[in-house]
Amino acid sequence: MHLKKEVTLKELAGFINADISDEPDHIVNDISEPESADERSVVYLSNKKFIEKVNNSKAKAVLTSDKIASGSLTDKILLVSKDLEDSFNKLLEFFEYKEKFSPCISDKTSIASGTAVSKDCRVEDFVAIKDGTSIEKNTIIHSFVYIGKNVKIGKNCTIHSNVSIYDGTVIGNNVIIHCNTVIGSDGFGYLQKEGRNIKVPQIGNVVIEDNVEIGSNTSIDRATIGSTVIRKGVKIDNLVQIAHNVTIGENSIIASQTGVSGSSTVGKNCILAGQVGVADHAHIEDNVIVGAKTGVPSRVVRSEEKMIFGTPGRTILKAKRIEAIAGKLPEFYQEFNELKKLVKDKLK
């Protein structure tokens, strides 16, 4: 959600670290796509293929780079940045709607005795907080959140509606958890004996370090023993499954519909793209990119591999060669049958 805020281009340029081509007193109040923009909108141009669309827009102000803008935009006021992605991020930040924080604990909330909830928190209606839990200052707990026993939540966190946080979970500072996510549910562990599935008790917990963001409808399971650990700076998309005893390394990114099986480890600064499947006890070292829909078997993926793709996951160059050959299999099969027939005819 964004907010219309009136500002001169001179003031805005200072905020986003860009240079103005002219008209520093021109007032803008919004950031828009070219099709919906008006004269007080700012539009973003990061690729030359959209120049015509921007030229046809009603917007007067365009955030772009000198390389893209040079001789291509007509009748526009240019906000020219040397770091276009950073300036665009600052532009979004400027127009982002931010609700003013006001501490308040709703009288419609159920807070058990023996809790330590800071008076400088905001706890909204119909939240349930169980015994032994502590929540530090400036944290927001939105409506219909369940927080179990002996949970620790740090400062400046935002827990959105319908999140469930099971017993013993530890959450650091500046953590965001989006709607309908479950933290600390039982790991998927069963013994198969005499045709029956016998549940293995899951007595560990989940530890989420500082500056982590977790998308909606994601599930992070508690450890069988010990902890499932999400290290600082990790960003997890919607609809992700993290199994018991997994460790995700610092500043790694996990995209939607990815599943990481039990006792696996993902290193620092890794990227797991959409629909990746990681088998149990796999170990992905630091700085590895795992391409979309890749299946990572129970092996060590070395940092030197840099990027893997396919099922099973292989280095990207090898995977591309296999894909190229697979696409030609019908022709190879036809040639094989022709050669086979030729050999048979000669042997007659």
- What integer pLDDT is reported at residue 316 of this predicted model? 87
Instruction: Tell me if residue 335 falls in helix, strand or coil.
Output: helix
Average pLDDT, the chain: 94
- What integer pLDDT is reported at residue 69 of this predicted model? 76
Fill in the DSSP letter of residue 2.
B
pLDDT in tens, 40-92: 999 999 998 999 999 999 999 999 998 887 767 888 999 999 999 999 999 99
User: Is 142 annotated in the active site?
Assistant: no
Alpha-carbon distance 90 to 79, whole Å? 13
pLDDT greater at residue 258 or residue 96: 258
- Band (pLDDT 50/70/90 cuts) for residue 326 is confident
Is the model's pLDDT at 106 over the cut of 90?
yes
- What integer pLDDT is reported at residue 2 of this predicted model? 73
Average pLDDT on 201-207 reads: 97
Alpha-carbon distance 8 to 107, whole Å? 44
- What integer pLDDT is reported at residue 1 of this predicted model? 64
What string of H, E and C letters represents the secondary structure of 119-161?
CCCEECCCCEECCCCEECCCCEECCCCEECCCCEECCCCEECC
Alpha-carbon distance 237 to 41, whole Å? 30
Where among 80, 95, 110 does a domain terminate?
95
pLDDT greater at residue 348 or residue 11: 11
Alpha-carbon distance 117 to 137, whole Å? 8
The total of structural domains in the chain comes to: 2
Is the model's pLDDT at 320 over the cut of 90?
no
Task: Report yes or no: 35 and 28 within 8 Å, Cβ to Cβ.
Answer: no
Q: Which two tokens stand for residue 310?
A: 């396919």
Where among 95, 124, 142 does a domain terminate?
95
CA-based Rg of the chain, rounded to a whole angstrom?
A: 27
- Prior bond to 103 cis, omega within 30? no
Task: Report yes or no: 77 and 23 within 8 Å, Cβ to Cβ.
Answer: yes
Is the model's pLDDT at 342 over the cut of 90?
no
CATH number of the domain that residue 59 is part of: 3.40.1390.10
Which string of DSSP letters, residue by residue, matches 90-116? Answer: HHHHHHB--PPP--EE-TTSEE-TT-E
Flag whether 276 is in a domain: no
Average pLDDT on 238-254 reads: 98
Q: How far apart are the first and last CA of the chain?
A: 78
pLDDT in tens, 155-168: 999 999 999 999 99
Output phi, psi for 101, to 5 deg: -75, 130
List the catalytic residue out of 2, 244, 281, 283.
Answer: 244
Where among 45, 62, 95 does a domain terminate?
95
Flag whether 64 is in a domain: yes
Flag whether 291 is in a domain: no
Flag whether 153 is in a domain: no
**Domain range enclosing 46:** 7-95
- Band (pLDDT 50/70/90 cuts) for residue 29 is very high
Average pLDDT on 93-112 reads: 91
- Taking alpha carbons only, the member of 329, 303, 200 closest to residue 249 is 303
Task: Report yes or no: 314 and 332 within 8 Å, Cβ to Cβ.
Answer: no
Flag whether 143 is in a domain: no
> Does the reported pTM lie above 0.75?
yes
Q: Which two tokens stand for residue 269?
A: 């600064």
Flag whether 346 is in a domain: yes
Name every residue whose Cβ is closer than 8 Å to that of residue 63 and which is 6 or more positions away in sequence.
Answer: 16, 18, 42, 43, 44, 45, 79, 81, 84, 87, 88, 91
